[in-house]
Amino acid sequence: MIRRLQPKPPAPRRIIGANPPRSDGSAVSTSRLEVGRVGRAHGMRGEVAVTLTTDRVERVAAGAVLWAGERRLEVRSSRPHQGRHLVTFDGVVDRTAAEELRGVVLTAEPLDDPAVLWVHELVGAEVVAPDGTRLGVVAAVEANPASDLLVLDGGGLVPLTFLVSAEEGRVVVDPPAGLLD
């Protein structure tokens, strides 16, 4: 995710919350976002290890609602453990039920936070220079250690450090001369 900014962001940000392509080619719900993946069962009482794909840990807080496909899962409890979260869901009461969730992608409804710009809001947005010159359309957002990159439909890459503003369906960037040549 990136914060909504005035002119230019002071530092690169990590963008989280996209629906990355799935290896099995199955369709991804457009109304829900991937927030984590279930790993192995932990113990005998239905607890599972969840690797979050979001930086919003409230996604696994008690009472949160997650989806495994069309199955609704309510978080009963969770706790951090070795870089993951150990999560117990209502109705998952033993190891057998927990093992059935192994490998499942967990999704959730998008959060409504006006101070944050999410990946799913960037993809498909028109990218323009400050003078209004059309540079392309955001095809994807690629994670990069220095600064996440807007991948344009023409193949260009624009680091988010050059993001000036973002509105619904339109992103203004101010890249240095020659970056997109």
pLDDT tens for 30-60 read 578 899 999 999 999 999 999 998 888 999 9
Q: Give how far the C-alpha of residue 169 lies from the chain's centroid of Cα atoms, to the nearest Å.
A: 18
pLDDT score for 127 = 95
Averaged pLDDT for residues 49-78: 95
pLDDT digits (tens, 9 = 90+) for 100-129: 999 999 999 988 777 777 787 889 999 999
- Report the distance separating Cα 114 and Cα 35, nearest Å: 19
Distance separating alpha carbons of residues 27 and 24, to the nearest angstrom:
9
Q: What is the 3-state secondary structure (H, E, C) of 29-59?
A: CCCCEEEEEEEEEECCCCEEEEEECCCCHHH
Give CA–CA dist 127/125, Å, rounded.
6
